């Protein structure tokens, strides 16, 4: 089965995983109830809004597969996936933000400018390799903190739009506390260094899913599929693939 059918079959799992990474305390059955439009008294209204906004954003992605995204499309995606914590959904960030690592060291991303964001999107759309294109979309919008909020959600969705269009699979956070901490720590290191090598490797091995990769995980009883095995499964030419170097 292809990536689109995988998305349809596992959409609830994917949204649950994304919500988990956002700190939403809903269980999988509670997430299902929310997605079915049923009330869940134990979950706050704001957390319910996160789950619903994720569903709407995935619908937007699915309904626009095959359409090249530009600034306006991505701004709309950010607005759709936003919740009550975002005062200006779909708008470029105008305030200073910082990321703090475990040593309390702070990194401040530059304020984005619309003209630069538009130019970056144009360059991203020129990338011919869809695997590289999806990951670079994720890297740019995550590290740049382009919008006022919900940048990681937007980044995952943009990467997955490319992956779905080329039948690669679905990239989403793992609903596992230890794995989530590892992912977020590597994300902070990427913010500081601007080198996505280790982050990409972690995402590819831990967080990329399709029927074939899940079959490998099931048969090896491991959540991790080694990078070279992932590329072989996706029929990528490993010697010529420059996504990961010096790992």
Among residues 186, 158, 185, the alpha carbon closest in space to that of 172 is found at 158
pLDDT score recorded for residue 241: 52
pLDDT score recorded for residue 85: 76
Pull the structure tokens for residue 225: 């599929």
pLDDT score recorded for residue 1: 61
pLDDT score recorded for residue 247: 35
Q: Which residues contact 28 (CB under 8 A, 6 or more apart)?
A: 12, 13, 16
pLDDT score recorded for residue 167: 94
Among residues 213, 188, 121, the alpha carbon closest in space to that of 161 is found at 121
Assigned fold of 3-240: Fic-like fold (1.10.3290)
| CA 90/CA 161 separation, integer angstroms | 18
| CA 100/CA 107 separation, integer angstroms | 6
pLDDT score recorded for residue 245: 46
pLDDT score recorded for residue 30: 96
| CA 85/CA 214 separation, integer angstroms | 34
pLDDT score recorded for residue 87: 82
| CA 91/CA 149 separation, integer angstroms | 9
Q: Where are the domains of the chain?
A: 3-240
Q: What's the predicted TM-score (pTM) here?
A: 0.93
Q: Average pLDDT per run of 10 along the chain, which is 247 residues long?
A: 90 95 92 93 92 96 96 97 85 91 86 97 95 95 94 96 96 87 90 92 95 95 94 74 48
Among residues 141, 161, 160, 158, the alpha carbon closest in space to that of 92 is found at 141
Q: How many CB atoms lie within 10 A of CB 162?
A: 25
Rounded to the nearest 5 degrees, what angle is found at the Cα of 106, between the Cα atoms of 141 and 151? 20
């Amino acid at each position: 089965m292809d990536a689109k059918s995988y998305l349809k079959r596992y959409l609830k799992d994917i949204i649950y995983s994304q919500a988990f990474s956002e700190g939403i305390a809903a269980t999988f059955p509670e997430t299902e109830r929310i997605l079915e439009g049923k009330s869940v008294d134990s979950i706050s209204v704001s957390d319910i809004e996160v789950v619903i906004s994720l569903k709407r954003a995935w619908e937007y992605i699915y309904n626009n597969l095959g359409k090249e995204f530009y600034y306006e499309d991505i701004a709309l995606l950010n607005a759709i996936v936003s919740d009550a914590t975002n005062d200006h959904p779909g708008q470029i960030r105008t305030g200073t933000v910082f990321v703090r690592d475990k040593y309390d060291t702070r990194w401040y991303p530059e304020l984005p400018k619309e003209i630069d964001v538009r130019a970056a999107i144009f360059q991203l759309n020129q990338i011919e390799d869809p695997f590289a294109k999806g990951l670079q979309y994720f890297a740019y919008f995550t590290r740049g903190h382009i919008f006022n909020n919900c940048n990681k959600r937007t980044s995952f969705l943009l990467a997955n739009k490319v992956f779905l269009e080329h039948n690669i699979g679905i990239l989403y956070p793992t609903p596992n506390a230890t794995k989530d901490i590892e992912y977020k720590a590597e994300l902070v290191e990427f913010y500081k260094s601007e080198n996505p090598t280790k982050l990409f490797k972690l995402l590819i091995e831990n967080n990329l899913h399709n029927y074939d990769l899940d079959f490998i995980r099931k048969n090896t009883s491991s959540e991790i599929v080694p990078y070279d095995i992932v590329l072989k499964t996706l029929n990528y030419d490993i010697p010529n693939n420059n996504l990961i170097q010096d790992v």
